[in-house]
Structure 1
Amino acid sequence: MSVLPLVFTSGWASGVNAYAVVLLLGAFGATGLSDDVPERLQRPEVLVVAGVLFLCEAVADKIPYVDSAWDAVHTVVRPAAGAWVGALLAGQSGSLSDVAAGLVGGSTALASHTVKAGTRMAVNSSPEPFSNIVVSLAEDLGVAGIVTFAMFHPEAAAIVAGVLLVAGLVVIFFLASRIRRFLRRRAQRREERRLAARAGPPPG
């Protein structure tokens, strides 16, 4: 059976929350629920590190503006994780070359990361913090659900991931004005901080 659907789905999920993907896949393999998970993802140290980083992301991802800073840092991390997981899955199955799987996983993760980061910029243009929490919880549940679904129905899960990716890109297109507003506000805050630092403390 081709591993491509699982590579594509894990790539999409990695672009949203790479640590959750590694943690879930490793847990499925370590508990014996799936034979398709590479041994490297099941190693205790990998699961511990993924778990700790997942908890860090779970907090940072729900705080306005902190989530966008976290996304900026993970612009490289998430695609790299998607490529790494895809290559490992391909090596486990032998039905797809590691390089091809890495390209599929990495590029899909980059696309879904772009959707996630852009959506957060649009959400951060709103002054209230509750939408960040709601969006973050929806993303966490979505990743958990689709990775679990992919372990048992990889083809169907890949179709769902593809639909979500296309829908997300369409949403980002329509949210472009809010994203630009967020970027302008962030640039304005940076300029204000720079001017305040240059001016120094007020005279006593």
Structure 2
Amino acid sequence: MEITSAVGAVLGAFGLSGAAGLNAWLPLLVVGIADRAGWIDLGSSYGWLSSTPALIVIGLIFLIDLVGDKIPAVDSVLHGIGTLVAPVSGAILFTAESSLSSHLSPAVAAVLGAVTAGSVHAGRTVARPFVTGTTAGVGNPVVSTAEDGTSLALTVLALALPVVAFIAILLLLILLGWLAFRTRRWLRTRRARKSRPDQLQP
């Protein structure tokens, strides 16, 4: 039973860190509220996530990020910042569950969380220019809202159904990889079309 619990915690941690790759602040906020309400136990090391000051600060930054990511140009700046923030958030979330401490080295957990969140964030950042270019920026708020909703769903799944959350993260990474491939292909085609008039000139 102890092994099953440990495996579930690790799979759930993958789900939380993956959710952080889509929205670095939302999973931290949800996990902090869940600990504050007594639904989960973060333990003494990460109990600060559920403190009043932490919840207020995370909540405010989450609202700023939520609105800013729907605004063209501002979203690009936030994505750049997220390149640093998302892996940190993922590392914190992966190591936050107290049940992991006796089964997985905190350093290993932090690396796994950072890599998972960083990979998801990189995928969405690479794919965003494709959405911007093909919709003239109109699709960005829609995609951003979908990312926020997916982040929330993954967070809830990670806490309630960790196995499902882990499978969802794997599928998400595959989808983002495909979108990144499509984006690079679209960018190459676009550059080629722009260069053709110059090549035709004497």
Q: TM-score, normalised by structure 1?
A: 0.81
Write the mapping of 1:61-140 to structure 2, written as runs, cut at 5 A: 61-89=69-97, 94-126=102-134, 128-140=136-148
Deviation at 1:36, TM superposition (A): 5.0
Gaps of 5+ in 1: 184-204
Tell me which residue corresponds to 1:186: none
How many aligned positions are there? 183
CA distance in 1 between partners of 2:186 and 2:38 (Å): 45
Mapped pair 1:12 → 2:24: no
Tell me which residue corresponds to 2:197: none
Structure number with greater CO (CA < 8 Å, separation at least 6) is 2
CA distance in 2 between partners of 1:159 and 1:75 (Å): 24
Deviation at 1:92, TM superposition (A): 5.9
Q: Percent identity, aligned pairs only?
A: 29
CA distance in 2 between partners of 1:128 and 1:68 (Å): 14
Judged with a 3 Å threshold, the aligned counterparts in structure 2 of structure 1 residues 101 and 182 are, in CA distance, closer, same or farther, namely farther
Aligned partner letter, 2:24: A
User: Helix, strand or coil for the counterpart of 2:103?
Assistant: coil
CA distance in 2 between partners of 1:69 and 1:179 (Å): 20
RMSD: 2.2
Deviation at 1:181, TM superposition (A): 8.4
Tell me which residue corresponds to 1:45: 53
Deviation at 1:182, TM superposition (A): 9.4
Kindly indicate whether the alpha-carbon contact (under 8 Å) linking 2:19 and 2:27 is maintained by their aligned counterparts in 1.
Answer: yes
User: Helix, strand or coil for the counterpart of 1:18?
Assistant: coil
Kindly indicate whether the alpha-carbon contact (under 8 Å) linking 2:10 and 2:100 is maintained by their aligned counterparts in 1.
Answer: no
Q: Deviations over 1:34-58 (max 9, x none)?
A: 2357412211111111111111111
Q: TM-score, normalised by structure 2?
A: 0.82
Mapped pair 1:176 → 2:201: no
Judged with a 3 Å threshold, the aligned counterparts in structure 2 of structure 1 residues 33 and 64 are, in CA distance, closer, same or farther, namely same
User: Helix, strand or coil for the counterpart of 2:112?
Assistant: helix
Gaps of 5+ in 2: 192-202
